[in-house]
Structure 1
Amino acid sequence: MSVSGAASTTADVIVVGAGPGGSATAAYLGMAGLDVLLLEKTHFPREKVCGDGLTPRAVRELITLGIPTPEDEGWIRNKGLRIIGAGMRLQLDWPENSAFPPYGLVRTRQDFDEILAQHAVKNGARLIEGCNVTGPITDAAGRIVGVTAKAVDERGRATGQAHEFRAPLVIAADGNSSRLSLAMGREKRDDRPMGVAVRTYYTSPRTNDDYLESWLELWAKDPSGKDVLLPGYGWIFGVGDGTSNVGLGILNTSKAFGNVDYKDVMRRWVETMPGDWTMNDETMTQPIRGAALPMGFNRQPHYADGLLLVGDSGGMVNPFNGEGIAYAMESGRVAAEIVAQAFARTSDAGRERVLQSYNARMKQELGGYYTLGRHFAALIGKPEVMRLATKYGLPRTTLMKFLLKIMANLAEPAGKGAGDRIINTLSRLTPDA
């Protein structure tokens, strides 16, 4: 649907952004019988910087949402995580428990986001592509009651006059920059971790790897041929289409953050890889692109004045591992549940009371865990700590299985194992903020 072709410019809920968080929210709201406008500034299919890897936590959200993931339709399953560092390689399977499936997936964001957006449409959402939201519409009390927008073409160029869309509730799912949140006075918090990730694709025989691969150390050669440790942490994910997604991330807890050329770091690291992996400038299928990773609830409150935040707009990336898709979809599910309950209330005061509960619910679900993640991010930003952890941690398989469970947030809520109990107790007792 085009901006000018919209049959109605009013709805129960407006969702700005058709990434995983926005589309999941819109799909659930459509299932609940609400009239939803899903506004996306680009046109599908569209590229998005991401590792393309989905942990079992993200797979659980796909299952709950009702998205089928058969392998013959391009969903690549993986068994676990392979960790490389300190001259060692450790292969860990995803844990088996009742809360999460025992496998992960890989799917490029070019496909993934469109699949989710079309699922939202199938469940009743009205998707408008090429709709660049330019700002909020507020009432006399400062409450958002709609948005202004302009139609844009595939290159992002404005093609027509401004339009207005109105709803009593607006959901910002417009990513890290979240211009809508900023316009409503919700700035980012500086006391939260922030990451930067860069990635590209290479034609490679490693395309069918059934483990996600994480590199804890990135080595390169200096002009004299000496080994040099580069900043950041890397990954190689087989995409199954003849290519591998290769990328790296750096946290702002590192002194190198903002002080190095991330694309150059990537090239120098890739140059050291074995020749039979065929990862080089000639086999690169796309330019190296980067994106910010907003972590640990770096924008709050998650609901106020008629505007609710999901996913990256609310800083919901996991500080432990940089995973965002699972939490975007998870926050969308929680948000839709609360919004549906709010719309069932018969008074404005009752509706507002329910919507306000979203703030406490998200802190209850993830607040303590994200606080632990912030402390972890601060520690691994110190190279000497990371070197020691890699050297003495990787040889201890039992310890690494525990760390995999905590970093991917895969503890079973009612688990009876010692690891599950420790993780759940730490998350519960750690103050959220």
Structure 2
Amino acid sequence: MLDLLIVGGGPAGLATAIHAARAGLDVVVAEPRTTPVDKACGEGLMPGAVRALAELGITPPGHPLRGIRYVDAADARQRAEAGFRHGLGLGVRRTDLHAALARRVAELGVPVRPVKVDAVTVRQDTGSVGAAGLTARYLAAADGLHSPVRRHLGLDLPDPRPPRYGLRRHFTVAPWTDHVEVHWSTRAEAYVTPLAPELVSVAILTSERAPFDVQLADFPDLAARLATHTSSAVRGAGPLRQRVRGRVADRVLLVGDAAGYIDALTGEGISLALAGAAQLVRCVREDRPQDYERAWRRASLRHRLLTDTLVRLRVRPQLTRLIVPTAARLPFLFAGLVNGLT
């Protein structure tokens, strides 16, 4: 019998597999898709994520990031900037990150089975959990934002707030900054992340359902800068916010986006996935799954508080207009918030 069966071979699932293998656990990943898998995301790793990946033996290629810059879409001269105090971040193509994690999993000899786990087939008793013909002491559900395993276990909660969506496109243009730029309009945010000498990622977060080019028009300075450059196809994701009743159901533990998601506003998705993977494996190794919920909450507390606060401001346009001017007026506070999450 396995120690841990991981359902889902995205970054969260693969990070969990790496932690498990390093802890001496017998682990298998169930993932039917061929690596790497692309996904709509901002593609910026904060310094904490870069350090956590390095500790796992992973150094993906990318563009160094020195901080975060907020820009007012209505007046691009209005901006606030905060440098990272504890190392550099990294702009990394999602496919490059996924491929680097997959290589590390292969180096550690972790089997990745090309099987799809149907959530309704997950069965557990007092000593084991099984799915797709595999049996383990525990199962880690790393099956994404709209986790079928989470839904099957009745762990989803309704969300009364307006849904938010993400759209991402790449542009072949030389980066004009070594910061992640967050452009704020009254209806959306646009994240600009340098990825390579001639490539940037632009991710738009919004509650409005409209094509990427229509959304980009809300950011006239950014749209003008990108107008003559070749772009990739658009990838989308959402609704982003996923409320979860809990992250433990007997011998099933949720990790990554499956464990619940607020928003991509603070760019901490990968950092949280890596932290959650480490805590999940610790609880499995100690045979104390009941400790995982508290450990996950403790590891994600600062992120959840800041992200939830920003999302609440976002739905009130009169307050949204104050975000960039306030950050510019109070640079020490802005820098403290940015570095509190890195």
TM-score by length of 2: 0.89
Query: Where does residue 7 of structure 2 map in the other structure?
Result: 16
Q: Does 1:263 align with 2:263?
A: no
CA separation of 1:336 and 1:279: change in aligned 2, threshold 3 A: farther
Q: What are the equivalent positions in structure 2 for 1:54-69 lying under 5 Å apart?
A: 54-69=45-60
Q: Which amino acid aligns with 2:154?
A: G
Query: Where does residue 414 of structure 1 map in the other structure?
Result: none
Query: For 2:117 and 2:15, how far apart are their aligned partners in 1?
Result: 19
Query: Where does residue 215 of structure 1 map in the other structure?
Result: 183
Structure 1 runs (4+) deviating above 3 angstroms are 136-144, 191-195, 269-275, 277-280, 316-320
Residue pair 2:217, 2:223 contacting (<8 A) in 1 also: no
CA separation of 1:383 and 1:93: change in aligned 2, threshold 3 A: same
- Residues 282-302 of structure 1, C-alpha deviations (whole Å, 9 max, x = no match): 611x2211112645x722321
Deviation at 1:260, TM superposition (A): 3.1
Q: What are the equivalent positions in structure 2 for 1:83-98 lying under 5 Å apart?
A: 83-85=70-72, 86=75, 87-95=77-85
Q: Which amino acid aligns with 2:192?
A: I
Q: Does 1:329 align with 2:263?
A: no
Q: Which amino acid aligns with 1:287?
A: A
Higher alpha-carbon Rg: 1
Residue pair 2:194, 2:201 contacting (<8 A) in 1 also: yes
Q: What are the equivalent positions in structure 2 for 1:273-284 lying under 5 Å apart?
A: 273=222, 275=224, 277-280=225-228, 283-284=230-231
CA separation of 1:245 and 1:173: change in aligned 2, threshold 3 A: same
CA separation of 1:143 and 1:191: change in aligned 2, threshold 3 A: farther
Residue pair 1:12, 1:167 contacting (<8 A) in 2 also: yes
SS at 1:244 equivalent: strand
Query: Where does residue 299 of structure 1 map in the other structure?
Result: 244
Query: For 1:176 and 1:299, how far apart are their aligned partners in 2?
Result: 11
SS at 2:222 equivalent: coil
Deviation at 1:59, TM superposition (A): 1.2
Query: Where does residue 394 of structure 1 map in the other structure?
Result: 328
CA separation of 1:32 and 1:124: change in aligned 2, threshold 3 A: farther
Corresponding residue to 1:184 among 153, 176, 199: 153
Query: For 2:126 and 2:3, how far apart are their aligned partners in 1?
Result: 19
Gaps of 5+ in 1: 1-9, 96-100, 149-163, 218-228, 251-256, 343-353, 411-433
Gaps of 5+ in 2: none
Q: What are the equivalent positions in structure 2 for 1:5-404 lying under 5 Å apart?
A: 11-69=2-60, 74-85=61-72, 86=75, 87-95=77-85, 101-129=86-114, 131-139=115-123, 145-148=129-132, 164-190=133-159, 195-206=164-175, 209-217=177-185, 231-250=187-206, 257=207, 259-269=208-218, 272-273=221-222, 275=224, 277-280=225-228, 283-284=230-231, 286-292=232-238, 294-295=240-241, 298-316=243-261, 321-342=266-287, 354-367=288-301, 370-371=304-305, 373-404=307-338
Deviation at 1:268, TM superposition (A): 2.0
Residue pair 1:202, 1:278 contacting (<8 A) in 2 also: yes
- Report which structure shows greater RCO (CA 8 Å, sep ≥6): 2
Q: Which amino acid aligns with 2:184?
A: L
Residue pair 1:320, 1:373 contacting (<8 A) in 2 also: yes
SS at 1:168 equivalent: strand
Kindly report the root-mean-square deviation, in angstroms, between the aligned alpha carbons of the 2 structures: 2.7
